[in-house]
Every structure is written in structure tokens, then in C-alpha cells.
Amino acid sequence: MTSAELFDRGSRVIPGGVNSPVRAFNSVGGTPVYMASGKGSRLTTVEGRELIDFCGSWGPLILGHAREEVVEAATEATARGMSFGANTVAEVEFAELLCSRIPHAEKVRLVSSGTEATMTALRLARGVTGRTKILKFNGGYHGHSDGLLVAAGSGLLTGGVSSSAGVTDTVAADVFIPQYNDLEAVDAIVAESGGDLAAVIVEPIAGNMGVVPPAPGFLEGLRTACTRCGALLIFDEVITGFRMGPTTYGNIAGVTPDLTCLGKIIGGGMPIGGIVGPDAIMEQLAPNGAVYQAGTLSGNPVAVAAGMKTLEILIREHPYPRLTALGADIATGVNEAARRHGVAMHCAAFGGSFTCFFRRDPVRNLEQAKDCDTKAFAAFYHAMLAGGIYLPPSQFETAFVSAAHSNADIGVFLEVVDSALAQQRRNSE
């Protein structure tokens, strides 16, 4: 069966044909591609086409697809029993490893997704502070729990509005939403409502509006603002944790949050999430504390085995300088091609993460990201796909290189970019 036939068939029994909305290709048009397998940097579609993958399952696959040691670890764990609903040695070892890599982590609670991690972190922050309000940034994505599906309201100092049917206005009103990288707005909110603020939650490198690095002093400023008003600073490192180094980005940047949320990479491709922080906060979780949280499959032995092996390999092989170099090669190559062809776009890269923004100037926040030419992105996306490159199917996402990508893979990527932009120029003439 072809992807088109499968999408047709899937759409009859799955809402929109997908189990997560952005897979539906709604923002680039066309039919989603169905995958048969992945190995290293390559995907094989159900049609038997080979694609070079720069989506990396949206972040987890920093070692590429089906890395042998990870597959072996998960397979062995599977054979020993896929779930016990009781404690295992692996959970202890995994928590010890995370605590040893993340300085502010004295305790770890594992969950099954990034969404659960941020949801739990916010409940914990409210439980610990006894306050109700949350600050998140416009365009920051922290999973799909009610309190985080909130868009900016009419005024900065009033709360947000629901961005999904089914999320009540009452929930949305508890969330302040300034622009990313806007410390002045944060300070204004803290001056007005700091006493009600339970937490500031932020992706220390924004990844869900395309990759947008923090402006110099931004994370430090958030730390200062939170300390001043007594709100907890939560770094959502579901993407950035172990992506820029074998630790959190907060640790690399030298800014210590109160809580860090993890996911994606720490599961090595299996469903996982985690909340880490100091004893004084983490012990407020049930069973010792009053903040309830639980999960049938939390700390699942197969997920922990895949995650543990992934982190061990990252620590052993330290692919980070190479990932950064490949990301820089991509950005340089794309930006040269954009200039050569006179296309209004630029590629932003941070470590091995990158986004091709169809806008000439750098993007600092969601407003500017929204200014991108999404039609041009859609045409680019399909030209890249036709040329054998699989990117995340939206302008507002981050693409990733993995340790399995070769220099030759990057060379092919840049050749396809060149012909995609040449085509774009011809179409605009």
C-alpha cells in the first residue's frame, strides 16, 4: 500500500488520520509519508523510498534510528518483562545517572511523556508555593495539558485565553503570556502580580516556534525575577536536555532552575518524561508530600533501558562538538544558497538543531516567526521531500542532525536545498 492509500484508510479510523496533529501535513499540504523502518540517518518509506531524516522523531533520536546497542538494551529488557508496576534496579540506576549529570537534580520522578512532566512540574510549583498563576512564553510548547494550551490575551498583565476547545477560560486566565526573550514584559508582570506567581516555565532554547536561542541575559534575568518574587523557575528541557551536551542546557548556560522537565532523548525513542530538582521541592510529591502524581507505566523498564543506554553512549562518545559542526555547516550552506538565489530566508542553528525560516532577519520570538512566508516554506518542504530529505512538516519546528549523520548526508542536504531554492526563484520570476 502507498502512503496515500494508507492515509485514506487511516483517516477512516483515526481522527485526521494521525495520532499527533502535526503529522497530518496540514501546514505544508499534501499527504503524510508512512514509514516502514529507520536505520542510522535513513528512513525507508512504505513505498521503499530512502529519505535522509532531519526530523529525528521530533527530538529523541540523537543517535539516529535503531542504534544497535539501544535496540539490544530495549530487547533484553523486553524479554525480562515489559512492566511490573513495581520497582526495578534500572530505575534506581537511571535516577542516579541523571542526578550525577544534572547538578541541581537531587531527585528524579519519571513519567511517560513530556506532557506529563510539565503538567506535574506546574502542579508541584503550585503545591509548593500555594500560588495559582503561571507565566509561559508565547509560542513556547510544553505539551498539551489544559493549563498550557493558552494563547496571549488582550493585555500583557491580564491572563491568557484558551487556545483549544475544551480548555476553560478559568484555566487560561491563570497564565500570563509575554513574548519569548522579552525580559521587560516579565519584569512588568512580576511587579504587578509576582506575589501570585507560582512558576515561570520556559524552553531555555525555544524549539517549538522553530529554533530560537535565548537572548544574552534572558535566562539569567528569569532566574533573578523568579528569585525576587518567590516563583519557581521551570526549565522545560524536553528537547534541550542532553541535546547540547550530556546534561541539561541550564547547566551548560550556568543558570540553575528550580525544576527541570525532561523527555525525548532520555527515553532513546521510547515514551518517557522526567521531573528533576532539589529534595526540598521533589519530596513534596506523593507519597511523602501532598502533591499527587502517579503512573501505571512510569519508569517503564523498556523505556528506562533504552534511555539509559542512549545516555551512556552520549557520555562515552560525546558527539556534541560534531553535531554542532554539522549544524553550523547546514546553516552556513543554506544561508549561502539563500543569498545566491535571492530567496528571503535564513537558517538558524543552535548545536545540531536548526530551522530554515522564510524570513530574511533572525527570529527572536513567535511574532517574528509568524512573519515567515509559510507558503514558501511549504513549497520548499515538498521540494526537499522530492529530493529525498525528510524535515519536520511545519515552518514552526526544529530539525535535528544526529550522531548517525555523515558529512556526506549534510552534502546531499545542501545540494537538495540548492535546487529547491533555485526552483523557488524560478517560480517567483
Ligand X SMILES: *Cc1c(COP(=O)(O)O)cnc(C)c1O
**263 near ligand X, judged by CB under 6 A:** yes
User: Among residues 174, 264, 309, 390, which one is catalytic?
Assistant: 264
In the 8-state DSSP scheme, what is residue 270?
B
Q: Pick the closer one to ligand X by CB: 139 or 221.
A: 139
Q: Which of 207, 213, 214, 351 binds ligand X (CB under 6 A)?
A: 207
**What's the first-to-final CA gap in the chain, in angstroms?**
38
Cell output for 224: 533573578
The verdict on 203 binding ligand X (CB under 6 A) reads yes
Shortest distance (Å) from residue 195 CB to ligand X: 27
- The binder of ligand X chosen from 3, 41, 88, 115 (CB under 6 A): 115
C-alpha pair distances (Å), 377 with each of 356, 380, 399: 8, 5, 14
Identify which range of 6-14, 102-110, 135-143, 421-429 contacts ligand X by CB under 6 A: 135-143
Cα(304)–Cα(95) distance, integer angstroms? 10
Report which secondary-structure segment, H or E, holds 171. Answer: helix 169-172
Under rule CB under 6 A, how many of the chain's residues touch ligand X? 15
C-alpha cell at 292: 499527587
Nearer to ligand X, 113 or 193 (CB): 113
Q: Contact region for ligand X (CB under 6 A) — 2-10, 32-40, 98-106, 141-149?
A: 141-149
Say if CB 249 and CB 240 are below 8 A apart. yes
**Phi, psi dihedrals of residue 196, rounded to the nearest 5°:** -100, -5
* Shortest reach from residue 110's CB to ligand X, in Å: 13
Q: Is residue 143 involved in binding ligand X (CB under 6 A)?
A: yes
Please say which residue, 115 or 298, places its beta carbon nearer to ligand X.
115
The identity of residue 271, as a single letter, is: P
Q: CB neighbours of 411 closer than 8 A, spacing ≥ 6?
A: none
- One of 32, 40, 56, 114 touching ligand X (CB under 6 A): 114
Catalytic residue (one of 236, 249, 309, 409): 236
Q: Is 375 tagged catalytic?
A: no
Q: How far is CA 350 from CA 7, 259, 321, in A?
A: 34, 23, 12
Longest dimension (CA), the chain: 67
Q: Do 374 and 209 touch, CB atoms closer than 8 A? A: no
Give the nearest distance from C-beta 398 to ligand X in angstroms: 8
Least separation in angstroms between CB 385 and ligand X: 22
Alpha-carbon span 271 to 304, nearest angstrom: 9
User: Which residue lies nearer to ligand X by CB, 143 or 392?
Assistant: 143
Near ligand X in 211-250, by CB under 6 A:
236, 238-239
Phi, psi of 399 (to 5 degrees): -95, 160
- DSSP 8-state secondary structure symbol assigned to residue 105: -
Structural contact between residues 274 and 263, judged by C-beta atoms closer than 8 angstroms: yes
Residue closer to ligand X, measured from CB, 182 or 203: 203
Residue 141 a catalytic site member: yes
Measure the CA–CA gap between 167 and 182, rounded to whole angstroms: 26
Contact 204, 163 (CB under 8 A): no
Residue 328 to residue 323: CA distance in whole angstroms = 9
Question: Closest CB to ligand X among 60 and 333?
Answer: 60
- Answer for which of 94, 141, 354, 357 binds ligand X (CB under 6 A) is 141
Selected range binding ligand X among 38-46, 91-99, 139-147, 360-368, rule: CB under 6 A: 139-147
The residue at minimum Cβ distance from ligand X is 114
Beta bridge partners of 59: none
Please, what is the minimum distance in Å from the beta carbon of residue 344 to ligand X?
A: 27
For ligand X, the closer of residues 127 and 143 by Cβ is 143
CB of 248: closest distance to ligand X in angstroms?
12
Q: Which residues bind ligand X (CB under 6 A)?
A: 113-115, 118, 141-143, 203, 207-208, 236, 238-239, 263, 273
What amino acid positions are annotated as catalytic residues? 141, 236, 264
